[in-house]
Amino acid sequence: MHKIGIDLGGTKIEGILLDEKYNTIQRKRIETHQENGYDSIVKSIISLINELKAKTGEEASVGICTPGITDANSGLVKNSNTQCLIGMPLKNDIENILGYQIMMENDANCFALSESLLGSAKGYEVVFGVIMGTGIGGGIIINGTLHKGRTNIAGEWGHHTLHPNGNQCYCGKQGCVETYISGPALEKRWLELTGKKESLQPIVQDLSNEKVKQWKEEFLVNFGMALANVIDILDPDVIVLGGGVSNVSFLYDEGKAAVYENVFSDLVKTPILKNKLGDSAGVFGACLLNR
Ligand SMILES: [Zn+2]
């Protein structure tokens, strides 16, 4: 059966149609237009699905990758940075319009699934896929299967407490991992230290000055503690990094060393790898939800 994957992002909605062998038949990107609200996003998704489906003469499965988690009990979207989705029964609404069942998972789970089956983590049994971007997410794949957990939150290391009484998080708690090593958190810390509003890419280009040293040291300590906690519990065979922050090259040598320092084992050799699929992990992961 052909597979349709939709990656619903804050600014773009991407759709892909694959054949049985995962060859790409059609790919299309449209604007999300969050400002037009929930109903307009649902309409855009439906028209994209129908357009892709029209390219194949047969039935196609549909998987959707979303920002935020769909609550296991209520079916409502929660913890999404695309705010108008919060509290909405997105999966249900789309199924009602299409008239058939679809699969839906959050972006970190789709990322982990695609990197595990088609990307950097191919061949590893237990995979922890990490998204470090606007938010911090994670997904666990065991022998090619997504481990969602009892309430769909398995792998959500972004809201572990790193520093009690630390930075305020949108989730209501203080000191969450996300408030220290997400893209916006790192840029905010840079602004506090230097008075300069800069994005991550130029910050990491010149790592020689004193201010950068402090910023980098804090980043490494937080990254090391946060991922070491994950390793202590899951002890995965590999960790794959994705999202904008995964482009910071020192995470793969100094970052890895900082993680190892904090793990409860002298034997730790867990590979920490950069993703292979880049921005395409979402659409492929969405397709792979139907296997
Ligand atoms: Zn939080």
Q: CB-hemisphere CA count at 13 Å for 147? A: 16
Report whether pLDDT(274) > 80. yes
Average pLDDT on 196-215 reads: 88
pLDDT at 182: 96
* 160 alpha carbon – ligand 1 mean position (Å): 7
Kindly give the distance from the C-alpha atom of residue 174 to the centroid of ligand 1, in angstroms, as a whole number: 7
pLDDT at 79 over 90: no
pLDDT in tens, 180-195: 999 999 999 999 999 9
Distance between CA 214 and CA 190 in Å, rounded? Answer: 10
Share of the chain above pLDDT 90, in %: 80
The answer on pLDDT for 57 being more than 80 is: no
pTM higher than 0.85, yes or no? Answer: yes
What pLDDT score does 261 carry?
Answer: 96
Ligand 1 centroid–CA 210 distance in Å is 30
- Ligand 1 centroid – CA 2 distance (Å): 38
Mean pLDDT in residue range 122-148: 96
Lowest mean pLDDT among 81-85, 229-233, 258-262, 287-291: 81-85
- Tokens representing residue 271 in the block: 């590979």
Length of the chain: 291
CA of 185 to the centre of ligand 1 (A): 12
Q: pLDDT at position 83, please? A: 82
Question: 168 CA to middle of ligand 1, Å?
Answer: 8
In this predicted structure, what is the pLDDT of residue 62?
97
Per-residue pLDDT tens digits for 247-265: 999 999 999 999 999 999 9
pLDDT of residue 147: 97
Of the candidate ranges 109-118, 161-170, 205-214, 234-243, the one whose mean pLDDT is the lowest = 205-214
Residue 54 has pLDDT above 90, yes or no: yes
- Sorting pLDDT into bands at 50, 70 and 90, what band is 94? very high
- Separation of CA 95 and ligand 1 centre (Å): 31
The confidence score (pLDDT) of residue 5 equals 97
